Structure 1
Amino acid sequence: MSNAMSNAASPVTPMTDVAKSRFVSNVAANACYIVLNTTIMLWYIPFLVNHLGVAAYGMIALANSLVMYGALVGTSLNVSISRFLAIDLNKGNTAGANGTFNTGLALSAIACSILLVPAAILTYFLPALFNVPAGLERAAQFLFASVGAAFLVTILSSNFGVASLIKHRFDLRNIVNSLTLLTRVGIIALCFIAWPATLWYVAAAFVIAAMIGLAGDVVVWRRLAPELHLNYRNIDRHHFRALSNLGSWSAVNQTGTLLLMQVDLLIVNAMFGAEMTGRYGAVLLFPALINTLTEAVVTVLSPAIMARYAAGDIDGMRRIACHSVKLLSVALALPAGLLCGFGAPLLHLWLGPQFAQLNVLLILLVGHLAVNLAVRPLFYVVTAYNQVKVQGLLTLALGLANIGLAIALARWSGWGVAGVAAAAAIVWTLKNCLFMSSFCATLLRLPWWSFYTPLTAGALGTLAVAFAGRLVSQFWWPPSWLALGAMVATIAVLYSIAAYFFCLNRADRELLWSVVKGRSRA
């Protein structure tokens, strides 16, 4: 087997200096994309709801949720390709990198071909399998087919997009993502303004935007990785076996993750109908935004962790893991706590008074994220060590348990849709707190409880911010966006000061300032 597929970490010179020098600019590029995405989504979802109605909007959220199960194949392959390609390039093994790249592309093409069959079957039987608003059956089928086609294009596109990840050029990565987002939303907005709103335009916009994304990723790949060439002769059975093995177990893990994070809309649609699907789907924007915020930092850490693994720098991996989990946990407590504390007035101002009653649902969806998203950097440690098998089996088992618990809480506890969200929060927290943090600590040869303290700090921070927001909004209900913004800003400043002095130690503060000044030592 080639050196590219070896787990041995040889003492080479990886691109760690590039990772350090571009850390701030990469996070800034991701932050700019988050601001753009958040701004557009806060306008876009009410725009869709107002033009299409809540039930029809629910079909868009449902289509995205269903297609994610097909996209897990692409995501799993992308994890596998990213790991081996990063190690190849960090070791200067161009021949191995080309073998990994071309074999990964071939695997993606095979996966897309196979996924066409279940996608076609689900599209045909969609009205029989799910609650679809009357009169929208054909439009919903076309929407699902188009979203499915867009994700298949994305699977192929991700093979080229990995170049910007490994080369630490998140600015180019986010330019492509921004163009894709603006294309999709822009086409829908223009069509809705010019003609009567319908799901057909939404469907067409998904496909066009996906093609723009593919073209952008190809252009970036040619600029950043000219050493990688398309050549079917580089497809290699050794690479095929290694990529398939890691990709298969990653797919198992991704399946379990989707059963934890994406099954809720399917259960809500089956048990509570299309109208509630739309309401639930609208509130899902907020956990999605926090997840995107986390990815802005975490994706920058991925190539840095892989580079240190390739160089055998285990101490460097420990520093990245420990500091990132603590800083993320403390930082994520702020948005999670604010949404828990100001959920009712936020939903009232954003979507209308009829949505304010979904405040409890919002709390259940976001209240646990400071803990569960803070462990995200540890996933890259598991991938670097190629230890996805155990993680995947446990995640799949807990994902299946989540389905049973969600149905039980929704049907027999009297919690309704809140029971679906509560089940995911419970199972997800058990997985990350009791398993992931301990497992990764063991891999890094740290005490198994090493990550418990920073996760506890995030949980307590969320409670403190949520309690403050709830108290303030009960005494002074914000009548406008300006008033709500002033309350949020006040609590955010107070929390930031308290967190800086009481939650972070001297090493954390020094690292934080070094990152701000562009001299990351992670």
Structure 2
Amino acid sequence: MSNAGITRKSITDVAKVRFVSNVAFNVCYIVLNTVLMLWYVPFLVSHLGVAAYGMIALANSLVMYGALVGTSLNVSNTRFLAIDLNQGDDASANRTFNTALALSIIACSALLVLVGILTYFLPVLFNVPAGLEPASQFLFASVCAAFLVAILSSNFGVSSVIRHRFDLRNIVNSLTMLTRMGIIALCFMVWPATLWQVAAAFIIAAMIGLAGDIVVWRRLTPELHLNYRAIDRHRFRALASLGGWSAVNQSGALLLMQVDLLIVNAMFGAEMTGRYGAVLLFPAMIHMLTEAVVAVLSPAIMARYAVDDIEGMRRIACHSVKLLGIALALPVGLLCGFAGPLLHLWLGPQFAQLDVLLILLVGHLAVNLAIRPLLYVVTAYNKVKVQGLLTLALGFANIGLAIVLARWSGWGVAGIAAAAAIVWTVKNCLFLSCYCAVLLRLSWWSFYAPLTAGALGTLAIGCAGRLISQLWWPASWLTLGAMATAIAVVYSIGAYTWSLSRSDRDLLWSVLDRRLHA
């Protein structure tokens, strides 16, 4: 067998052996995060009030625009470092790592200036509850500081992704999350609840996360070392180029997914910002659930690209889009079908009227998040320029459509959510799926059929849940859980029997069998 063949086989074996355990650890983290967040949001709302909680949601939303720098640099670092390590080139890997770290430090230094300006003018630029101006400014500054630390930390955290060790990655993430929530809960029990305590918790938790990522980095990639002499100006340009176009793409994505809370704050005030921010927890959880699986695919796709295994990339892309859509249809459909009862039980009767808003926020995700694996294909080919420009243009289109629907259509905040759903679906279904198919030398419509399965599943589950809840309103969590479980069992059997092809089933069982015998 050729060296290339051995390399491809070893990469495939590692990916398959680690796949189930990585997904399992990711799902465990998501379950922990979900359970804690379902307690955490009502806990904050009850102690701080809806308007003050809205400042936390707004700060997180604003900081996401600064975090896109870190995300973009992380995409660039992951691609080049994964190729270097999979090809066994330690010298090149050290140049990539140290250059990426230097680039992150420069970016964080530049962002500090912007953070200072926005912090100072925060009460002028946004609707801040009266009397909470200083606390809101400190909260925003602290959340920004935490994200800047996270940008630096991501340079070390990338090792766990490339080495397929999502168990260690999730341990660090869980420790960070528990630290933040634990400090806030302890402070609220000892002293009167304020935004100042929330701000301090963000900074302390970020430092814990950085320390954890460094420990994991040393264990998984001992061949990498901190060495300023390894900074390579040629590699700097390559990283900055991919990172720059990735930042353009991330900017557009944020204008599609994160601008809604800013528009709500500007048009409807601090109180509605808090209500809208609370409901945003559910699409955020669906995003995290998707990442539990999709993040595992990233190193597998990059590894296959490193050894020119295009056929392997095609198999991963086609199967993952279909299976992910079918799987996402279950949580998305249940949230749509039981939106009213869920909000009533979770946050109280006054939130049940936001059921249409919840449906608009999550209803399209079974299709739009099923596309996620294709983003890694585009990154592997380093073809993010066209994607970035289109995403940015559609992001601005989303702002205009959101304002039109919210102000002149009479839809209110629902119009803002509807605009994002429309524009995001256009971008993914009409462009990204076709563009990725062309890159993989497939027919441009190749991903339409896999996406249809998830859309139909979401529609069926949503209608079933809506019908059942209208016939018999679930007055308790136990009743709601029983209804959701019944629908989930029926859907799972039906999806496995009618939606999955023989090759889909063979892939699932081969991965499980390989894990059981590992």
Is TM > 0.5 for Structure 1 vs Structure 2?
Answer: yes
Which of 302, 313, 316 is equivalent to 1:306?
A: 302
- 2:423 corresponds in structure 1 to 427
Aligned residue for 1:168, secondary structure, equals coil
TM-score, with length taken from structure 1: 0.97
Distance 1:442 1:55 in 2: 48
Over 3 Å counting, the alpha-carbon distance change for 1:12 and 1:398 in structure 2 is farther
**Equivalent position of 2:145 in the other structure:** 149
Say whether residues 1:13 and 2:7 are aligned partners: yes
Corresponding residue to 1:353 among 344, 349, 352? 349
Q: Structure 1: how far apart are the matches of 2:353 and 2:259?
A: 22
Q: What residue in structure 2 maps to residue 382 of structure 1?
A: 378
> What RMSD over aligned residues (CA atoms) do the two structures have, in Å?
1.1
Query: Which residue does the alignment assign to 2:168?
Result: 172
Q: Does 1:333 align with 2:329?
A: yes
Structure 2: stretches of 5+ with no match in the other structure: none
- Per-residue CA distance 1:202-252 (angstroms, 9 max, x = gap): 000000000000000000000000000000000001110100100000000
1:19 is displaced (CA, Å) by 1.3
1:382 alignment partner AA = V
For 1:450-469, list aligned pairs within 5 A. Answer: 450-469=446-465
Name the CA distance, whole Å, in 1 between partners of 2:7 and 2:451.
33
Aligned partner (choices 83, 89, 92) of residue 85 of structure 2: 89
Deviations 1:86-105 (A, max 9, x none): 00000001010000000000
Say whether the 8 Å CA contact 2:22–2:164 is kept in structure 1.
yes
SS class of match (1:363):
helix
Say if 2:207 is the partner of 1:207.
no
Q: Which residue is equivalent to 1:237? A: 233
Point out 4+ residue stretches in structure 1 off by more than 4 angstroms: 9-12
Residue-by-residue CA offset, 1:40-71 (whole Å, 9 max, x unaligned): 00000000000000000000000000000001
Q: How many residues align?
A: 512
Structure 2 residue identity aligned to 1:103: T
**1:340: Cα distance to partner?**
0.4
Q: What is the letter of the counterpart of residue 201 of structure 1?
A: Q
Aligned 8 A contact 1:364 1:422 in 2: yes
Using the alignment, how far apart are the partners of 2:4 and 2:180 within structure 1? Answer: 45
Partner residue in 1 for 2:37: 41
1:323 aligns to 2:319 (yes or no): yes
TM-superposed CA distance for 1:12, in Å, is: 7.2
Q: Which residue of 2 aligns with 1:128?
A: 124
Tell me by how many angstroms 1:21 deviates: 1.0
Code of the residue aligned with 2:501 in structure 1: it is N
Do residues 249 (structure 1) and 245 (structure 2) align? yes
2:367 to 365, 371, 376: 371
Q: Is the 8 A contact 2:343 2:351 kept in 1?
A: yes
TM-superposition CA deviations, 1:141-185 (whole Å, max 9, x none): 000000000000000000000000000000000000000000000
Name 1:344's counterpart in structure 2. 340
Partner of 1:440: 436
2:249 is the counterpart of 1:274: no
Give the corresponding residue for 2:180: 184
- 1:486 & 1:518 partners in 2: Cα distance? 34
Aligned to 2:36, the other structure's residue is in SS state helix
Task: State how far apart, in whole Å, the 2-side matches of 1:91 and 1:479 are.
Answer: 58
Amino acid aligned to 2:7? T
User: Aligned partners of 1:16, 1:513: CA distance in 2, in Å?
Assistant: 16
What displacement does 1:430 show?
Answer: 0.2
Q: SS in structure 2 opposite 1:457?
A: helix
**Is 1:221 aligned with 2:221?**
no
Amino acid in the other structure paired with 1:282? A
1:161 equivalent in alignment to 2:127: no
**What letter corresponds to residue 13 of structure 1 in structure 2?**
T
The match for 2:396 is 400
Aligned partners of 1:516, 1:93: CA distance in 2, in Å?
32
- Distance in 2, matches of 1:518 and 1:482, equals 37
Query: What percent of counterpart residues are identical?
Result: 81
